[in-house]
Amino acid sequence: MTIQESGTARPAGRPRSEKAEKAIIEATLDLIGEGMGVSELSIEAIASRAGVGKTTIYRRWSNKEDLIVDALATLKAPLPPLTGTSVRDDLISLLDAMRKESGEPRSRCVMNIAMSEADRYPEMMARFVKRAVEPRRKAMRALIERGIATGELRPDLEVSMCMAILQGAMLWHTKWGPAGDLAPDLAERVVDAALAGMAS
């Protein structure tokens, strides 16, 4: 092995191409968004749409399910920064991230198609939930527990029920509510309605 003058070894193998990875992820999401279900989706179709060879995909993902999990995860924005100034403000930040994601027609379409096959691919969906959904659940649980500890919320609250009320209300609006009812103040209205029964 040749050591460079800087004292570091030159990395072995071909460097990953971020451009190729982005093209593969986008091709996967495009095909799902066009109505191709998980069972119909193939590495061949993804490679063709992305303009890469199948080996390029297999160098990065061991199978189709792993690729789909990574692709779906890109539709979830990072957790918003939580200021810690009040439980109300931080809950609004968390729920507003849900509103913004649901306002993207492509993201809604892709997630709806992918989730429709969750029963057929339970392991894949479990990996997606662990990677993209569970961090948000943990953040909300910690927020509600913090609110109980600080006295902002009632001490007798059932944390899981509070989470269900908040997330369920947002899901109703984003999936089944009146068309166009994703106003910028939606998260604030949901949180205030919930806190009317949860606050101390």
Where exactly are the structural domains of the chain?
18-67, 87-198
CATH number of 18-67, picked from 1.10.10.60, 1.10.10.10, 3.10.20.30, 3.40.640.10? 1.10.10.60
- In this prediction, residue 69 carries a pLDDT of 94
- Cβ neighbours around 10 below 10 Å, total: 9
pLDDT digits (tens, 9 = 90+) for 101-131: 877 778 878 888 888 888 899 999 999 999 9
Joined together, the tokens standing for residue 150 give: 């600080």
Closest Cα to residue 68, out of 105, 42, 97? Answer: 42
* Superfamily of domain 87-198, CATH level 4: Tetracycline Repressor, domain 2 (1.10.357.10)
pLDDT of residue 82: 86
pLDDT score of 58:
95
pLDDT of residue 134: 93
Is pTM beyond 0.85 here? no
Q: What are phi and psi of 3, to 5 degrees?
A: -95, 130
* d(C-alpha 182, C-alpha 174), whole Å: 7
Question: pLDDT under 50 in the chain at which residues?
Answer: 1-15
Report the b/e string of 53-84 with b at 16+ CB within 10 A.
Answer: eeebbeebbeebbebbbbbbeebbeeebebee
- Same fold: 18-67 with 87-198: no
Return the pLDDT at 44. Answer: 96
What is the tens place of the pLDDT at every residue in 77-88? Answer: 788 888 878 999
pLDDT of 13-24, one tens digit each? Answer: 444 588 999 999
Structure letter (DSSP) for residue 26: H
Helix (H, G, I), strand (E, B) or coil at 86: coil
Q: What is the structure's pLDDT at 8?
A: 37
